[in-house]
A and B are shown apart, each in its own frame.
Chain A
Amino acid sequence: MFTSVDDVLARLAEAGYLASPAVATTVFLADRLGKPLLVEGPAGVGKTELAKAVAQVAGARLVRLQCYEGVDESRALYEWNHAKQLLRISAGRDETWDEARTDIFSEEFLLPRPLLTAIRGNDPKVLLIDETDKADVEVEGLLLEVLSDFQVTVPELGTVTASRRPFVVLTSNATRELSEALRRRCLFLHIGFPDAELERRIVRLKVPGIDAALAESVVRVVGALRAMDLRKAPSVAETVDWARTLLALGAGTLDEAVVRDSLGVILKHQDDILKAEAKLDLDAV
């Protein structure tokens, strides 16, 4: 898929994703070693976006399994279309049960879910298992199975083996430790906050029209906020939002009033706002 780490960097950038060297190196290896990539890091640092960008540059279809509390096999793997099966049974009144059964457990009545979709067919795919830590532990067992052999057994149909393995990205906010077994299957990548230079480039890419000096000031203030030990440090997503807001407000440079009035865009907790105001000497009105 990629010829070198630099190739990863350049092509992701074309897709609007500015990767750090760490990100580019790990994506390159995940492709070369054919291993799933587990991406961990705080909210809003571009974990999901990375998977989308990889799909775009690879010309691959993005298959996304969004995890949540209570997601189960029938949501992740496949399900039988019961309603359609019932209709079929009541339509064919005079056939034997055996005939009906072979028929209703066939391809036509199967509802493939992301994990099955990702390993079927010959087109290139990126499988994004998003927010894996939100799923229950039982689902991890399922993921482990699928990611080990890239095959799924549907008892009534037989075993489906991937003829072409998808590029797999799992993301996690680490609200829960994923099991050691699952981690061992994956290459591990932590995405933290980007360094100032990279973040400036991200801002200027995502907020076209922003003045370079303003982008720099925005990134500096965000850097200062991150050093403050807040309940929720601002992420890249907030930096970009803030820059957008400032541009929309027509602010050419940062000053006390502008920062004070727009702090709510970057900080979500009232105590964080108070702390930041004190630390940045923003005299409250």
Chain B
Amino acid sequence: MNATADLTARLTGLVDALRAHGVRIGTGETVDAARATRELGLADRESLREGLAATLLHTTGQRPVFDAVFDLYFPRRVGAPEGRTDPADRAALRERLAAALAADDTALMARLAMEAVDGFGGYGSSPASDGWSSYQTLDRLRPQTLLARVRDEVRARDGAAGFGDRLLEDEIRRRIEEFRRMVAAEARRRVAERRDRDEIARRAVAPTADRVDFLFAGKDRLAELRRTVQPLARKLATRLAARRRRAARGSIDLRRTLRGSLSTGGVPMRPVLRRRRPARPELVLLCDVSGSVSGFSDFTMLLVQALHDQFGKVRVFAFVNRIDEVTGLLVHGAADPDGLGARIRGEAAVTGWHGSSDYGAALGEFTERYAGAVGSRTTVFVLGDARTNMGDPNLPALGELGRRARRVHWLNPEPRSRWGTGDSAALEYAGLVGMHECRTVRQLSDLIGRLLPV
């Protein structure tokens, strides 16, 4: 393959992989990317990386995926470094890594990451290993155990007296974390070199946080998502404010226009617009907090709590098979979002004599005990998968709610294709109120931006 054809193939591979990760790239951007490679040349890999990112991406959130994919299609250097590191050299490699960490030399750290994966990451029949594992590399090398040593080395060099000394350990921890990321990237690159790169690019690169499926997000991913609550809330708040402004713009106030025209000799020069100042809407959230969907519910509760000053009133209720108000827990829970779920399940009465969800019972209890919570100004959101464990879905209770509230929306974290399968009562409920698929933060923010009353 000649150089141009190879470059074109790499570029289209990169674009396809990004598209597979949900980055929307049109032909215009692809053409720009090709022009960028021509302007920049291939000599400086980091410059090429920035140029392609500038032409292909449109938001900051797409960058982590881009970087991982870029490393696969434009690897630092193809092939292994000369002379495989002998496993016996573990001590020597740790020695050099300690020196690199102490000097904060990122270029050297990157080189050592390559050597480390080469020496300790291969598994299967060597020397042509079947695969490369960052886990195995890090397990053998144990960079985290270098902390004390590196700290002492830096102290011996710079002295331990200055104010900076108290920052030192955290700084070294961050450098070690950086090294671990380099090892992971290098292992990914090597795997790609052996297997089909396109396949790896699609599967082994973690999706952007806002596209992670709530139902499959692990603990770390959920924690990462929770950190996006505040920025997301700020965005939604501006969007709501814009909708509110539009809604308030209203019609021409004829009386005031004419009154104003007296100063222009009766010619109505400046139309006066009638301002509508509606009372702030009220919001009620009913959240299934059972194990299967709790990640989704927690996230949504935190988001709504962060938006609370957009509303006249927000009340939040949690249920599994009994329902209880948790508004107060949530107000304080904003300070410790990771512990929120546990506290709700610990302090609120959400389960009766068994532990599985029962939508029918929970809806029934809500309409009985909290009838006053819902009125003509209230918009109700129900959050949950509508899997009622074969219990009676209690459709009349939801119908009653729909009649009393201004609107009822149901957000379901399951894919639409699974609604109504097994013990899901989703389709029956969807006959009564608007039900929306809400699997990812992206979908959630779209829905909230659209459905929240203003």
Contacts and interface: CB of A to CB of B under 8 A. Distances in A.
Interface of A: 5, 21-22, 25-26, 28-30, 32-33, 35, 40-41, 133, 136-137, 174-177, 180, 183-184, 187-190, 196, 216-217, 220-221, 223-224, 227, 229, 253-256, 259, 280-281
B235 A281 contact: no
Interface in B147-199: 162-164, 166-167, 170-171, 174
B29 interface: yes
Contact of A29 (B39, B57, B163, B239): B39
Contacts of B292: none
9 contacts: A28-B39, A40-B60, A136-B245, A180-B24, A183-B59, A188-B58, A217-B162, A224-B171, A256-B163
Contacts of B242: 136-137
A171 to B, nearest CB: 14
Given A21-B50, A188-B54, A35 B59 contact: no
Contact of B167 (A29, A33, A220): A220
Nearest to A173: B234
B35 A25 contact: no
B40 A255 contact: no
Given A221-B164, A223-B171, 6 more contacts: A5-B44, A25-B50, A25-B51, A29-B54, A184-B58, A196-B104
Contact of B26 (A22, A40, A184, A229): A184
B47 interface: yes
Contact of A254 (B32, B57, B162): B162
Given A25-B50, A176-B238, A188-B57, A224 B167 contact: yes
Nearest to A186: B58
The bracket for how many chain B residues form the interface is: 35 or more
B32 A33 contact: yes
B54 to A, nearest CB: 4
B371 to A, nearest CB: 38
Nearest to A197: B104
B35 A227 contact: no
Given A176-B235, A224-B171, A227-B174, A187 B54 contact: yes
A89 to B, nearest CB: 14
A259 B162 CA distance: 12
Contacts of A29: 36, 39-40, 51, 54-55
